[in-house]
């Protein structure tokens, strides 16, 4: 099974490693005292912004783990390193690079790419070779209903992204003495798996509360104008507006909503941070009182042994990279922590053992609790909603953790 020369080189690495490598179905990429993880992320192309957040998140976690001595496997400490490729934001390239990481570079632990589409492209490759993948940026539920055994996601799945907004609207209606079923919803999502899942989640929640969806639109991938959607909002005056149109669509929505003087008591969307709607130089006050869905917020009280609290993480990240970490970066860091924890618990570099250790993960990170369903998604962490108040994101939901009161109804400034 193993080539003789390779076997010798592994032996040279240390008795522990070589012994395991002989018994394991796949030998890990261990050079000296370094464990190399591999990832194809988007450095160029459509997802370059979030690809950068992903990479920064991975790098920061690696740095912290190494500073604390690294990952201990079988009593020996190993440093972490990551081999990156640029997937150019195209799925076909991502698949090729995953093959290359596994086959040519002999990488045995994969960190996920950015976006659901890219993750969906790579997951079957990891599955084919029996290589575990911990991903942090693929939330589409279609990743988790295909019976993949080697894909694990630290984030909440997409259909939950804006559910909290519907829940919040219902709570608000009740406290105003109104029946939640009297509320109307305008829904606009980009025509892509991730946003469509969000839309499906909203449909389920609306049904649960008996709310009516009066506008239900799917924006094209290359959305360049939203005025007809906004004209409809002005005409029909829904109580809740929910939008997920990725970064460009999000920026357009916020900008045009203000210019077209459209508004609703509750306006919730995704991708606020990547569209930078808080930047008053670019958006003025257009983003005020918009609710932003997030996987994570620095105000949350989770903590771990590497970064400390969520706020500690945010401060460290900002000091190093010069900007407040969006959740895309935080969850990427969390993915590396989860990997390190699993490899350490497996006590082995054997991919099957690491996979089983991942499946048994039950830990708290600064990003939230992590516990995987048999299908691979994290079921221990809810989504949060933050409202942009006076240019700052404030945690307003779920209400049991919120440290700030919701501004309701939304005032357009």
Partner 1 sequence: MSPILLRRSTIDAFISNLNLLFIVPPLSLQLVVNGMMIGALFALAAFGMALVWGVMNVINITQGEFVVLGGYVAVLMAQNGIHPFFAIIVAPVILYGVGWFFYQTIIKRVVDKELFTSLLATFGISILLQQLMNQVFGADIRRAEHGFGTWGFFDGLVTVEQIKLLAAIAAIALGGAMVLFLKKSRLGQAIRATAQNARAARIMGIDTDKVYAATYSLNAAICGAAGAMVAMIWVVEPYIGLVYTIRAFMIAIIAGLGNLSGVVVAGLSLGVAENFAGFIFGAQYQIAFIFGLLVVILVGRSFLLGRKREYLK
- 291-294 β-sheet, strand order: 212-219, 184-190, 240-244, 266-269, 291-294, 384-389, 392-397
Task: Give the largest Cα separation in the chain, rounded.
Answer: 76
Token reading at 79? 């440093």
Distance CA 33, CA 71 (A): 10
Applying CB under 8 A, the span of 24-32, 162-170, 221-229, 377-385 interacting with partner 1 comes to 221-229
Stretch 354-373 residues interacting with partner 1 (CB under 8 A) = none
Q: How many chain residues bind partner 1 (CB under 8 A)?
A: 44
Among 220, 308, 374, 391, binds partner 1 (CB under 8 A): 220
| Least Cβ distance, residue 192 to partner 1 (angstroms) | 12
Among 225, 360, 362, 413, binds partner 1 (CB under 8 A): 225
3-class DSSP state of 34: strand
Stretch 176-195 residues interacting with partner 1 (CB under 8 A) = 188, 191
Q: Which is nearer to partner 1, 81 or 412 (CB)?
A: 412
Question: Residues 367, 371, 376, CA angle at the centre, nearest 5°?
Answer: 105
Applying CB under 8 A, the span of 70-78, 224-232, 296-304, 369-377 interacting with partner 1 comes to 224-232
Does the N-terminal peptide bond of residue 409 adopt cis geometry, omega within 30 degrees of 0? yes
Q: Is residue 232 a contact point for partner 1 (CB under 8 A)?
A: yes
Among 224, 319, 322, 400, binds partner 1 (CB under 8 A): 224
Among 99, 105, 171, 217, binds partner 1 (CB under 8 A): 217
| C-alpha atoms less than 13 angstroms from C-alpha of 121 in its C-beta half-sphere | 20
Q: CA 349 → CA 23, 100, 110, 338, distances in Å?
A: 11, 20, 13, 15
Q: CA 377 → CA 10, 158, 361, 362, distances in Å?
A: 34, 11, 12, 13
Q: Is residue 200 a contact point for partner 1 (CB under 8 A)?
A: yes
Answer yes or no: are the C-beta atoms of 91 and 118 closer than 8 Å: yes
Q: Is residue 102 a contact point for partner 1 (CB under 8 A)?
A: no
| Least Cβ distance, residue 225 to partner 1 (angstroms) | 6
Applying CB under 8 A, the span of 4-12, 101-109, 250-258, 398-406 interacting with partner 1 comes to 250-258
Among 382, 380, 381, residue whose Cα is nearest residue 398: 382
Q: Is residue 411 a contact point for partner 1 (CB under 8 A)?
A: no
Q: Is residue 282 a contact point for partner 1 (CB under 8 A)?
A: yes
- The continuous run of DSSP H or E covering 102 comes out as helix 91-103
Interaction pattern, residues 31-50, with partner 1; x per rule: CB under 8 A: -------------xxx-xx-
Among 196, 233, 264, 291, binds partner 1 (CB under 8 A): 196
Q: CA 278 → CA 74, 129, 289, 389, distances in Å?
A: 47, 43, 10, 9
Which residues are near partner 1 by CB under 8 A? Answer: 44-46, 48-49, 52, 188, 191, 196, 199-200, 203, 216-220, 222-229, 231-232, 234-236, 247-248, 251-252, 255-256, 259-261, 275-276, 281-282, 284
């Amino acid at each position: 099974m193993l080539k003789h020369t390779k076997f010798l080189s592994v032996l040279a690495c240390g008795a522990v490693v070589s012994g395991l490598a002989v018994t394991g179905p796949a030998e890990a990429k261990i050079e000296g005292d370094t464990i190399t993880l591999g990832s194809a992320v988007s450095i160029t192309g459509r997802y370059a912004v979030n690809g950068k957040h992903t990479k920064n998140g991975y790098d920061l976690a690696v740095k912290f783990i190494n500073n604390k001595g690294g990952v201990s496997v079988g009593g020996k400490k190993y440093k972490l390193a990551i081999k990156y490729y640029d997937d150019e934001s195209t799925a076909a390239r991502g698949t090729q690079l995953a093959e290359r990481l596994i086959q040519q570079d002999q990488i045995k632990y994969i960190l996920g790419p950015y976006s659901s589409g890219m993750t969906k492209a790579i997951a079957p490759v990891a599955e084919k070779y029996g290589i575990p993948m911990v991903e942090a940026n693929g939330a589409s539920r279609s990743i988790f209903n295909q019976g993949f055994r080697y894909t694990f996601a630290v984030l909440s799945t997409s259909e939950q992204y804006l559910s909290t907004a519907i829940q919040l609207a219902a709570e608000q209606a009740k406290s105003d003495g109104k029946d939640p079923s009297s509320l109307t919803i305008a829904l606009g999502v980009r025509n892509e798996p991730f946003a469509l899942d969000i839309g499906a989640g909203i449909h389920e929640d609306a049904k649960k509360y008996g709310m009516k969806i009066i506008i239900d639109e799917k924006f094209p991938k290359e959305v360049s104008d939203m005025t007809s959607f906004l004209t409809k909002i002005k005409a029909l005056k829904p109580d809740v507006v929910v939008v997920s149109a990725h970064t460009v669509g999000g920026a357009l929505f916020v900008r045009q909503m203000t210019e077209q003087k459209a508004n609703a008591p509750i306006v919730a969307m995704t991708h606020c941070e990547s569209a930078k709607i808080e930047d008053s130089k670019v958006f003025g006050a257009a983003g005020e009182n918009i609710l932003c869905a997030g996987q994570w917020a620095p105000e949350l009280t989770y903590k771990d042994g590497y970064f400390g609290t969520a706020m500690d993480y945010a401060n460290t990240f900002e000091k190093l990279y010069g900007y407040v970490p969006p959740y895309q970066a935080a969850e990427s860091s969390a993915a590396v922590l989860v990997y390190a924890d699993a490899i350490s618990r497996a006590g082995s570099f054997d991919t099957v053992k690491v996979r089983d250790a991942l499946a048994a993960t039950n830990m708290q990170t600064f990003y939230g609790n992590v516990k995987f369903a048999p299908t691979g998604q994290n079921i221990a962490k809810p989504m949060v909603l933050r409202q942009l108040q006076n240019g700052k994101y404030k945690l307003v939901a779920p209400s049991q953790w919120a440290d700030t009161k919701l501004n309701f109804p939304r005032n357009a400034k």
